[in-house]
A and B are shown apart, each in its own frame.
Chain A
Amino acid sequence: MIIKAANKIRSSEITSEDVFLKRRELLQAAGLALGATTAAMLPGAGIAASGDGPEGQKLDGVTAWADSTSEKQTPWAQATSYNNFYELGTDKTDPQKNASRLITEPWSVEVNGECAKPGKYTLEDILKPHALEERVYRLRCVEAWSMVIPWVGFPLSDLLKRFEPNGNARYVQFQTLHDPQRLPGQQYPVLQWPYVEGLRMDEAMHPLTLMAAGMYGRVLPNQSGAPLRLVVPWKYGFKSIKSIVRISFTETQPDTSWNLSAPREYGFYSNVNPTVSHPRWSQAKERRLDGDGKGLAALFAEKQETQMFNGYAEEVAGLYSDLDLTKNF
């Protein structure tokens, strides 16, 4: 009930965190022991009340996917303040700080290449026919950390089928928005801009591959790749390209940004694989980021073994049965 009410509050009416924290200090100073419920009843506290709960427009009519992992989810505050989105800065905390630069309205996606229905589709065109599903996936970064994120989206295959790819379409490439004003990280030649990623057609059509428009029941925050991003849970995180503006069906294997940057380190496939070591990070273990990052417990939390295909081997191993994964890393 409280959440519903909060949803109607416009962002302009939400108490800023600074003000809220000051108020909290004041209340504490007055010796008032206020529980979360009481705090939520304070006028104007709204959804900013917790200070780190999910924010943004709530998505309606989302159904729960049956195969979601029941592992502990990464708190919203951590999932939205520790991001690799170099277009918004190379420090993990930069994307959140620069998030407001990325204006996502209006948004359209260009579809081209080997398909019967190329063209420019508005975000609404893209989203309208699809029922939204919540899927809790593990996210494994090549930097040997991982999170558990409740995404909201729909199977990529449902979207791609609408464009009627033809027999020549063996791969699909995706491109992030290229706009150094809205994505100020693109003012620096850290990578070749725009960011591009790609999948083999059978990977793209796999039922686990998700086109996400939201997370934690809300629309995607900008630092997480609003308004439309890919989620490929059995591959390292950088394959899950953010803020997509172009989808191209191609006959030959498309360029991918990290492979262009360092081909020895990042292959086209980039499947999560604990047995293939990366030149920078051993991939045998991962640090699961599912706490609040506070206190000694956060320092001494034990790392866990990384699973083949990030634990999705049963579903996807068949895609690679004829491939040497050491060479095709």
Chain B
Amino acid sequence: MNSSGKITAVAHQTSSLRLSIWLKPVVFLMCLLPLLFNVTGLFQGKLGANPVEAILHDFGLWSLRLLLITLCVTPLQMQLRWGAVAKLRGMLGLFAFFYALLHFTVWLVLDQQLSFSSALADVIEKKYITIGMLALTGLLLLALTSNRWSVRRLGVRWKALHRIIYPLAVLTIIHYLWQVRANDVLEPAAYLVALLVLLIWRFIRMIKH
């Protein structure tokens, strides 16, 4: 590397350092917006005739969207050589779990109204709910091990464990697809395409290296 290259690299580092200072808190607040909109919408009566269903669906959708956004972090980091963005990965993943947990809680408390027998029957009988529970359990596992202690403790196995985010995203999309009525598959299909693109990117990288 010549000297001008070094200077550019250093300049790049400082600018991304500056970026990283505001990036994380801004994205953190943005991730709270879906929750905020649902709360304000509820009290303004803007969630429609069936607010439980509206909130349930919205939290589920945001969990999936955040899961896919989380998976975009590494490609962004590699393709744009934008190191700072990597710091968002853990937080975005935790928000995906946060909305999955809210989605589950709304289902259990407001939809099933804490009737554990009927909730359990639905988990067993309705395949899309079985799949959803499986995905939630996986996300819980990732959330519990997304701390420095676990990274150190698990070593190389940590990376292998956290790769299950891909199958979890697949499960989440199936969970969504299986409850679509008739052929109204446009939105879940779009998420599926996004996931496929991310998987292909991973695959190509794997072959190259």
**A92 contacts the other chain (CB 8 A):** yes
Whether the Cβ atoms of A145 and B50 lie closer than 8 Å is yes
Return B102 CB to nearest CB of chain A, in Å: 13
- CA A280 to CA B49, docked complex, whole Å: 21
Q: Are B50 and A82 in contact (CB under 8 A)?
A: yes
In the bound complex, CA of A319 to CA of B97 (Å): 50
Selected from A188, A285, A287, A294, the residue in CB contact (under 8 A) with B42 is A294
Give the interface segment out of B58-66, B86-94, B147-155, B176-184.
B176-184
Q: Are B43 and A90 in contact (CB under 8 A)?
A: no
A294 touches B52 (CB 8 A): no
B13 lies within 8 A of chain A by Cβ: no
A275-315, CB under 8 A of B: which get 1 and which 0?
00101101011010100111110111011000000000000
Q: Does A86 contact B (CB under 8 A)?
A: yes
Chain A residues, CB < 8 A from B15? none
Do B43 and A190 have beta carbons less than 8 Å apart?
Answer: no
Chain A residues near B182: list those with CB within 8 A.
86, 90, 190-191, 258, 261-262
B5 at the interface (CB under 8 A from A): no
Q: Is there an interface contact between B42 and A299, defined as CB atoms closer than 8 Å? A: yes
Specify which of B47, B51, B118, B181 is in contact with A284 (CB 8 Å cutoff): B118
User: Is A82 a contact partner of B125 (Cβ separation < 8 A)?
Assistant: no
A188 CB contacts on chain B under 8 angstroms: 183, 186
Is there an interface contact between B47 and A293, defined as CB atoms closer than 8 Å? yes
Residue in contact with A81 in the complex, picked from B48, B52, B118, B126, CB distance below 8 Å: B48
- Residues in B with CB closer than 8 Å to A296 are 42
A292 in complex: contacting residue of B45, B53, B127, B183, CB < 8 Å: B45
A90 CA to B44 CA, complexed, in Å: 24
CB atoms of A298 and B184 under 8 A apart: no
> Which of B49, B125, B127 is A293 in contact with, Cβ under 8 Å?
B49
Question: In the bound complex, do residue B49 and residue A82 qualify as a contact, i.e. CB atoms below 8 Å apart?
Answer: yes
Q: Which residues of A lie under 8 Å from residue B207 when comparing CB positions?
A: none
Residue of B with least CB distance to A281: B126
How many angstroms from the CA of A258 to the CA of B55 in the assembled complex?
27
Complex CA distance for A86 and B181, rounded to whole angstroms: 10
Chain A positions within 8 Å of B122 at CB level: 282
Nearest to A262 among chain B residues (CB) is B182
B113 within 8 Å of A (CB atoms): yes
Distance A302 CA – B122 CA, assembled complex (angstroms): 18
A43 at the interface (CB under 8 A from B): no
Complex Cα spacing A79 to B50, Å: 11
Which residue of chain A has the shortest Cβ distance to B122 in the bound complex?
A282
Beta-carbon contacts under 8 Å, B163-187 to A: 179, 181-184, 186
Q: How far is the CA of A188 from the CA of B179 in the complex (A)?
A: 18
Contacts A90-B184, A190-B182 given; does A289 touch B50 at CB 8 Å: yes
Given the contacts A90-B184, A191-B182, A280-B179, A300 and B49 also touching, CB distance less than 8 Å: no
Interface contact A294-B184, CB-CB below 8 Å: no
Q: Please name the residue on chain A nearest to B44 by beta carbon.
A: A294
In the complex, A282 Cα to B122 Cα: how many Å?
Answer: 7
**B45 neighbours in A (Cβ, 8 Å):** 292-295
Contact A298 B51, beta carbon cutoff 8 Å? yes
On whether the beta carbons of B183 and A190 are closer than 8 Å, the reply is yes
Task: Point out the residues of chain A lying under 8 angstroms from B42, CB to CB.
Answer: 294-296, 298-299
Kindly provide the distance from the CB of B94 to the nearest chain A CB, expressed in whole angstroms.
25
B51 touches A189 (CB 8 A): no
- A82 to B: closest C-beta gap in Å: 4
Distance in angstroms between the alpha carbons of A261 and B182 in the assembled complex: 6
Q: How far apart are the CA atoms of A266 and B126 in the complex, in Å?
A: 16
Judge whether A57 is part of the interface by a CB distance below 8 angstroms: no
Interface residues of B in 185-202 (CB under 8 A from A): 186
| CB-nearest residue of chain A to B179 | A280
Q: Which residues of the other chain, B, contact A15 by a CB distance below 8 angstroms?
A: none
Question: Does chain B have a CB within 8 A of A78?
Answer: yes
Partner of A78, one of B49, B55, B110, B179: B49
Taken together as a complex, chains A and B put the C-alpha atoms of A292 and B50 apart, in Å, by 9
Q: Does B206 contact A (CB under 8 A)?
A: no
Task: Flag if A293 contacts B51 (CB, 8 Å).
Answer: yes
Q: Write the chain B residue with the least CB distance to A258.
A: B182
Closest CB pairs A-B (n = 3) = A294-B45, A82-B49, A78-B49
6 further A-B contacts with Cβ under 8 Å, apart from A190-B183, A300-B110, are: A81-B48, A86-B184, A90-B182, A293-B49, A294-B51, A299-B51
Q: Which residues of B contact A (CB under 8 A)?
A: 42-45, 47-53, 55, 110, 113, 118, 121-122, 125-128, 179, 181-184, 186
A-B contact list, 7 entries, CB within 8 Å? A190-B182, A282-B125, A287-B52, A293-B48, A293-B50, A294-B51, A296-B42
